[in-house]
Structure formats: C-alpha cells, structure tokens
C-alpha cells in the first residue's frame, strides 16, 4: 500500500469540486464526473426522467452531433459509462493519459452544452423501457429493487431507472426541463486518477468547466416508504425473498465494523448464509447479504432465491442466521474478511478507474477523500469484540420483508 498517496482537492468558484490522485506507475487516466441531477429530482409521475437524460445527454453536444461525438470519444479510446443514481448523474471514462484533456473537453460540452435533440429522444426512452422490462422479467432483480422502496423513504427508495408508466409519459420538453433545473456545478464532483499532473489539471478544468452556469438547488419531496411486510404475486416454481434491516451509513464511525459483520454473513463460500442456508441445509440456489449506504442512512439488504416448496424454511433459517450473528464470531471469520479487503485494496491501488470513482464517492459521502492507507488501517484495527459491540448496538431486527412468487410467506421470528 503506498505510504505517499497524495490526494489533491480544489473547489472552483462555481462550486465544482475537483479531486486528483496522481498514479505515476500507470499509463492510463480515468475520471468520474457526478452531476447532481439524479432520480430524486424526477418530477412526480415522471419517474425515469434522470435515467432518460443520462443517455439522451450524450447524443450530441457542443459543435458535434450524436455520431460525431461518439466517433470523437471512440477515436480517443475512451472506455465510458453513464447512468443515473439517486442524487447524481454519473459519467465515467478511462483512456490513455495523453488523451485525457481532449476527453474532458468533450464531457464539458456534454454537461454544459448538450443538444438534447428531438429525433434522439425516442431511442433514449426505449433504452430505459427495455431495462425496466428486463427487470420485470427477472424476479431476482425485481425483489431487491422493490425491497428498497419498502425500506427507504421516497424518493430514496425509488428505482433510479424509474417506472414503465413514468417513462412512457415523459416528453422531450419535460426531460429538458429536468436538465435545466438540476444540472449545475455546485455539488458536482469530478474525480481524476492516473498518470496526471495536478497543477495542469486544475488549470484545464478551470478553463473548460469554469463557465458552467450556476443554478438554484432544486427541491424534491419526501414521501412514505412501502409496507414492512409485502408480497408480489408471480406465477413461478420459485420464490424470491428480500430482507432488509437498519444499519449505519458510510460516513458513520462504525461503518467498517458493519461492513465486516455483513462479510461474516455473506463474504464468499465460507460465509454464514452460504454454508448454513445453501450448503448444509440445501434450501436455496442463491443467498447473500450486502451493506447499502445512502449519505445519512444505511441498510443491510439480503436476498434468497429458492423453490416454492422450500421458501418458508428458507426465510425462517435466513432470519435466524441474521439474528444469531451477535451470539459470537470466530477469529477466522474476521480474518477472512480482512484478507478479502486487502485484496480489494490492492486492486484499487492498481486501477485508475477504481480510484477516480472512489474519490468522487468519498467526497459525496464524507466531504473528503479517505486514502487507501486510512482504509487499510481501519480494517486492521477491527477485532471480534468491536464487531460484536457493533452488532449488539445495531441488531438485526425490525425487518422489512418482501417476497415475489406464487404464495406469500409467514414471518416466524425465532424459528430455525
């Protein structure tokens, strides 16, 4: 792990924050640009507005039409991705370091001077609709998507892809209005990592993004979450089970203890859920848990996919495993979590794309960037007593439970 890792942060007068991590040992450079125009700002009844915009906005910008813009990015060898999250539209790209300035100029056009052409709107709309239809056809994705709607208040629990009804009712003018209302430099974050020189990048970004027009912060309305116990009927020989309970967000001091506790539950083929629910009892074909974080709240999200005949027992045993985690943890279980974390940190160290996205994420959640050494140190400091103290302070209870299948299930807490 590099001891001399340097993170450079610069906030421009218009509010855009630039984060830079030089990586002299690589030849690439990568960026992640997060623009605060995500799905929480979708208009009521127009869910999917941000999702459409994330595609449509790249179909021509500045002096280039859609084909010319695509060709320019391809000629630079930019491996790119864009999409809508709850709070931000995200644009990511990686290329040779020498091509980074030209790539950033193209993205400066995309977020400041998009064409948003009428003749390209239907294609962007159709792409989002296809994604939503694919989710409807895949109960495993649907149960976890719908679980979020039931364990987070709206709009945070709403799917960033929107809804089929919302997407179908959108028009070019509505999505343009979303762009004009939401896209702004304040709260926008640009993370860059790779073979770069920080001072030159500050000058470049100031030149090409410094004129980005400021706009008032848009408003959004909160609403209630769905029911804590729910079932969605789906004719199938399988039942999909989603379980959620409260945890801590990424900004919390106890985050890494929460992460390790979930790792004991669901960190590979030696984890609790895999060995007990799938291997020893043979109840399901897939089971896992993950730690999900918004800026100020977190949840543990669990999934199990099984047959209709074994669904009730699968739910009972999964809940029992979640609740008995505080009874004790073996040192070997924590050691495996630490080993996985070290492997992940090493891979991040070698990837400019991972570092660019991690810096942008950190700034959004923490208001600063956590170095790899800081993360390594926090993980090394974890002990079994620290994990157990965290689990006892944040026990698995007050579950949100959603099932998708032909029949609803009963909740038998304490049954295993």
- Report pLDDT for 1: 41
Fold for 229-405, please state it: Cytochrome Bc1 Complex; Chain A, domain 1 (3.30.830)
> Considering the entire predicted model, what is its pTM?
0.94
Collapsed DSSP state (helix, strand, coil) of residue 176: helix
Q: Which of 124, 118, 106 is nearest to 64 (CA)?
A: 106
Burial class (CB in 10 A: 0-12, 13-18, 19+), 390: buried
Helix residue ranges, H only, 79-192: 100-112, 118-136, 139-151, 164-168, 172-182
CA angle, 295 then 296 then 300, to 5°: 90
**Is the fold of 8-209 the same as that of 229-405?**
yes
CA angle, 398 then 401 then 407, to 5°: 145
Q: Give the DSSP H/E element, type plus range, for residue 29.
A: strand 28-35
Is the torsion defined by CA of 50, 62, 190, 36 positive or negative? Answer: negative
- Report pLDDT for 349: 77
Q: Answer yes or no: are the C-beta atoms of 264 and 272 closer than 8 Å.
A: yes
Who contacts 171 (Cβ-Cβ below 8 Å, separation ≥6)? none
Who contacts 195 (Cβ-Cβ below 8 Å, separation ≥6)? 22, 23, 24, 26, 27, 28, 29, 97, 352
Reported as a single tens digit per residue, the pLDDT across 313-346 is 999 999 999 999 999 999 999 999 999 898 888 8
Which residues partner with 223 through β-bridges? 154
Mean pLDDT by 10 residues, the chain (416 residues): 74 97 95 97 95 98 98 98 97 98 98 97 98 94 96 94 96 98 96 97 98 91 93 96 98 96 90 93 94 96 97 96 96 93 82 95 96 92 97 96 97 69
- Report pLDDT for 414: 59
Q: Give the DSSP H/E element, type plus range, for residue 231.
A: strand 229-233
Q: Answer yes or no: are the C-beta atoms of 187 and 33 closer than 8 Å.
A: no
Fold for 8-209, please state it: Cytochrome Bc1 Complex; Chain A, domain 1 (3.30.830)
Who contacts 207 (Cβ-Cβ below 8 Å, separation ≥6)? none
- Report pLDDT for 344: 85
Query: Token pair for residue 55?
Result: 């595609």
The two beta strands, 17-22 and 189-194, are: parallel
- Write down the domain spans for the chain: 8-209, 229-405
Helix residue ranges, H only, 198-304: 198-209, 255-266, 272-273
- Report pLDDT for 270: 83
- Report pLDDT for 370: 92
Burial code (b: 16+ CB inside 10 Å, e: under 16) for 186-200 equals: bbbbbbbbbbbebee
Longest dimension (CA), the chain: 65
């Amino acid at each position: 792990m590099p001891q001399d890792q340097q993170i450079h942060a610069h906030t421009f007068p218009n509010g855009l924050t630039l984060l830079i991590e030089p990586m002299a040992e690589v030849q690439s450079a990568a960026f992640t640009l997060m623009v605060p125009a995500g799905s929480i700002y979708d208009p009521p009844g127009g869910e999917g507005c941000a999702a459409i915009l994330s595609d449509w906005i790249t179909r021509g910008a500045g002096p280039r039409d859609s084909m010319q813009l695509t060709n320019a990015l391809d000629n630079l060898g930019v491996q790119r991705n864009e999409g809508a999250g709850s709070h931000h539209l995200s644009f990511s790209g990686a290329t040779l370091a020498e091509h980074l300035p030209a790539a950033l100029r193209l993205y400066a056009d995309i977020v400041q001077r998009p064409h948003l052409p009428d003749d390209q709107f239907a294609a962007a709309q159709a792409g989002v609709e296809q994604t939503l239809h694919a989710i409807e056809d895949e109960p495993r994705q649907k149960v976890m998507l719908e679980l979020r709607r039931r364990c987070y208040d709206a709009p945070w629990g709403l799917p960033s892809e929107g809804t089929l009804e919302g997407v179908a009712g959108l028009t070019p003018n509505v999505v343009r209005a979303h762009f004009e209302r939401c896209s702004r430099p304040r709260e926008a974050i640009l993370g860059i990592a790779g073979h770069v020189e920080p001072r030159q990048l500050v000058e470049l970004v100031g030149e090409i993004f410094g004129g980005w027009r400021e706009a008032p912060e848009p408003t959004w309305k909160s609403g209630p979450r769905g029911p804590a116990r729910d079932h969605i009927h789906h004719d199938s020989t399988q039942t999909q089970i989603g379980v959620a309970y409260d945890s801590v967000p990424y900004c919390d001091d106890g985050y890494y203890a929460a992460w390790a506790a979930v790792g004991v539950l669901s960190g590979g083929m030696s984890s609790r859920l895999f060995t007990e629910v799938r291997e020893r009892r043979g109840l399901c074909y897939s089971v896992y848990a993950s730690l999900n974080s918004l800026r100020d709240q977190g949840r543990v999200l669990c999934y199990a996919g099984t047959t209709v005949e074994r669904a009730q027992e699968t739910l009972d045993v999964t809940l029992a495993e979640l609740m008995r985690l505080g009874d004790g943890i073996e040192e070997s279980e924590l050691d495996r979590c630490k080993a996985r974390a070290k492997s992940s940190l090493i891979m991040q160290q070698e990837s400019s794309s991972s570092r660019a996205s991690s810096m942008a994420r950190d700034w959004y959640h923490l208001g600063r960037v956590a170095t790899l050494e800081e993360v390594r140190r926090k993980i090394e400091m974890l002990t079994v007593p620290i994990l157990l103290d965290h689990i006892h302070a944040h026990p698995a209870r007050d579950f949100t439970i959603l099932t998708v299948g032909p029949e609803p299930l009963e909740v038998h807490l304490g049954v295993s």
